[in-house]
Amino acid sequence: MKIRALFAVVVAVMAILINTGAGQALETESPLEKSMSDTLDLWREGQYERLFEQLAHRGKTSRESFVEKMRESSIHPVCCWQKMEHFRIINENRTDATVYVKLGLEGTPYVSGAVTREFKLTHQEGVWKMQLADVFSIAGVTGKKRNGTKRYVKKIIYYN
C-alpha cells in the first residue's frame, strides 16, 4: 500500500512540475526567431502572396512582381533544424532588430547550401518582419528593368 501511495505522490509532483515550468523551458524561441522562421516557412512552401505581406520595406515592388520573381528562383530555405542555425540577437529595440543567423538553402549552385549573415527585422503591425531586399538577395534575384525587359541577376555569397 505504501508503494502505491508513494507512486501516486511522485506522479502528482511530476505533473505539477510539467505544468508549472518544465514545459515552458522547451519554448525558448524568441519572438524574433519565431517570426523569421515563420517567414522562411512561407517561402519554402511557395506561399509567395502571404510571404509578401510578411515583409517590410517593400518599396515600389508590387505583389505580382514579387510573386513572379520568387517563382523564377530555384533557391528556397530548407526544412526543420537546418533552416535556421546559431540564431543570435545582436541588437533589439522597440521597432528594429538585427539578428545573426545561418540559413540552410536548397537549389543553390554551391554544395554548402547555406548563408550566414546579419538580417534586419522591423516591427510593424504587431509582427517582426524581414526585409524584402534580404529575401531577394538570398533568393538570388533583383528586378531591374533594362530596355523594357527584366533582367535577373544572381548574386549571393555562400559560406560553409
Residue 157 inside a domain? The answer is no
Residue 110 inside a domain? The answer is yes
pLDDT at 147: 47
Residue 9 inside a domain? The answer is no
CA 40 to chain CA mean position, Å? 4
Distance CA 109, CA 70 (A): 17
Q: Which three cell numbers stand for residue 117?
A: 549573415
Q: Which pTM was predicted?
A: 0.72
Residue 98 inside a domain? The answer is yes
Residue 6 has pLDDT above 60, yes or no: no
Least reliable range by pLDDT among 8-12, 16-20, 129-133, 149-153: 149-153
Least reliable range by pLDDT among 75-79, 83-87, 147-151: 147-151
Residue among 105, 104, 96, 99 at smallest CA distance from 87? 99
pLDDT in tens, 96-138: 999 999 999 999 876 678 999 999 999 999 999 999 999 999 9
Domain total of the chain: 1
Q: Is 105 exposed, middle or buried (0-12, 13-18, 19+ CB in 10 A)?
A: buried
Q: Which residue range forms the structural domain that includes residue 77? A: 28-151
Q: CATH number of the domain that 143 lies in?
A: 3.10.450.100
pLDDT at 33: 97
Distance CA 112, CA 124 (A): 33
Residue 49 inside a domain? The answer is yes
pLDDT band for position 66 (cuts 50, 70, 90)? very high
Residue 4 inside a domain? The answer is no
pLDDT at 86: 96
Residue 46 inside a domain? The answer is yes
pLDDT in tens, 27-64: 578 999 999 999 999 999 999 999 999 999 888 999 99
C-alpha pair distances (Å), 66 with each of 18, 57, 126, 154, 157: 45, 13, 23, 15, 22
Residue 121 inside a domain? The answer is yes
Residue among 138, 35, 136, 43 at smallest CA distance from 92? 35
pLDDT band for position 155 (cuts 50, 70, 90)? very low
